[in-house]
Amino acid sequence: MKIYILCLLVFLGNLMVAQESENEKKQFVIKGINDQFPELRELSDKIWSYEEEAFQEIRSSEALVDYARKNGFKITENIGGMPTAFTAEYGSGHPVIGILGEFDALPGLSQKTVPYKDPLNTGNPGHGCGHNLFGTASLGAAVALKKLLERGELQGTIRFYGTPAEEKYFGKLWMIRAGAFEDVDVVLDWHPSGETKVAVQKGLALVDFIVEFYGQAAHASGDPWNGRSASDAMELYAAGINTFREHIRPTVRIHYHMQQAGDVVNVVPDYARIWTRVRDTRRAGMEEVWKHVEEMARGASIMTKTDYKISLVSGVHEILVNRTGSEAMQKNLEFLGPIIYTEEEQNFAKKIQKATAKEELGMESVITPLEETLEHPMGGSTDVGDVSWVVPVVSIRTKKKLTYKLINNIDS
């Protein structure tokens, strides 16, 4: 993979340096990224190939730690009791600027670097959300900024956060509880996307929980009257959710994954398990639906004479959007200018679009104007939301390519 999104490094200039020398320092940071490019590309390729999902990102975390340590950062590991969570810090005093970096993969998405579905290792996880780029690019930004601190041209502390398990269990929650963000002045965040823009939508609050049903096994033909089917309970629970969908607000989303429902067809299942997720644009709305969906499990249990248990997995808040920081970020994004794609890259993008039954338009080279923050946006959820409730967060979404325009034309 030869693609990087390292724009966020420039945004720190607006927060930490005087106006008269701002552009000079930004150009220095951009050049610092260019100097690192071969190593960053290699690091991203490694994380892509490791294919490690939530809380299992041992080699991915070690690769990022090794690169940070080689570049003179102080490492703190095992943040919040998570072996793959760490911080890499340089400098002293305030402001303390945090940069988030994720590196976990998604189950079942192993993929070769080809524009059609072809697993690198069948059944393994893979980086469908570009987290091999996320952690790598964010750390590269921190290293480039560290060089300005070394020269005495910036004051304060740069702290890279290696944050595990964003895709599945929301590792940043453990880091927040451990106090990892208590002394931070602002956190910068980015994520690969189909657009290049400042992210000013708050996403959705979310809760994850597991419902388990316990029944009585019996022969499905010989004496089914002695059985109490856990899978029947799970089906009734799911039917209740699907009937309820008509009567919830349009902002709410409910998902479930039936994980287990017996082992053989001729035995009444005595155990079933379903993973359930509820979202809404506001946590209060999500909690109201969540509690009712949990009550449905009790109803399914009563109807089938089974027992049930509910176990909380995790949950996240919606993002508190920082418009002031977003406006500063927009100026820096426009300073960089739109990403320019080669013909080869455009053809690769069109092949992906063809393989996924999308219109073959290629990649658009534009920077989206700063949007209004919607009261009820759609989209996904992220544990960055919880970080934003304890420290200001400023975010961008960017397409997957290094901005050669400014890196190769520093004086333009």
In this predicted structure, the answer to whether residue 142 has a pLDDT above a threshold of 90 is yes
Domain covering 205-316 in this structure, CATH number: 3.30.70.360
In this predicted structure, the answer to whether residue 17 has a pLDDT above a threshold of 60 is no
Q: Using 50, 70 and 90 to split pLDDT, how confident is the model at 402?
A: very low
Give the least confident one: 24-28, 105-109, 144-148, 405-409: 405-409
Distances (CA, A) of 77 to 102, 144, 166, 336: 15, 22, 17, 34
Share of the chain above pLDDT 90, in %: 73
- For 408, list phi and psi in degrees, rounded to 5: -90, -10
pLDDT, position 378 = 86
In this predicted structure, the answer to whether residue 183 has a pLDDT above a threshold of 50 is yes
* Mean pLDDT, residues 242-261: 96
Whole-prediction pTM: 0.85
Residues 6+ apart with CB under 8 A from 356: none
Share of the chain above pLDDT 70, in %: 92
In this predicted structure, the answer to whether residue 8 has a pLDDT above a threshold of 60 is no
| φ/ψ bin of 18: left (φ > 0), alpha (ψ from -120 to 50), beta (otherwise) | beta
pLDDT, position 400 = 59
In this predicted structure, the answer to whether residue 141 has a pLDDT above a threshold of 60 is yes
pLDDT, position 292 = 97
Q: What is d(CA 146, CA 16) in angstroms, rounded to the nearest whole number?
A: 13
pLDDT, position 21 = 63
pLDDT tens digits for range 47-95: 999 999 999 999 999 999 999 999 999 999 999 999 999 999 999 999 9
Return the domain boundaries, the chain: 8-202+319-407, 205-316
pLDDT, position 23 = 78
Average pLDDT, the chain: 89
Which is the CATH superfamily of the domain at 8-202+319-407?
Zn peptidases (3.40.630.10)
Q: Using 50, 70 and 90 to split pLDDT, how confident is the model at 129?
A: confident
Q: Which residue has the tokens 């070769």?
A: 112
pLDDT, position 13 = 43
205-316 has the same fold as 8-202+319-407:
no
pLDDT tens digits for range 284-328: 999 999 999 999 999 999 999 999 999 999 999 999 999 999 999
pLDDT tens digits for range 349-393: 999 999 999 999 998 889 999 999 999 988 899 999 999 999 999
Burial of 409 (0-12, 13-18, 19+ CB in 10 A): exposed
In this predicted structure, the answer to whether residue 19 has a pLDDT above a threshold of 80 is no
In this predicted structure, the answer to whether residue 5 has a pLDDT above a threshold of 70 is no
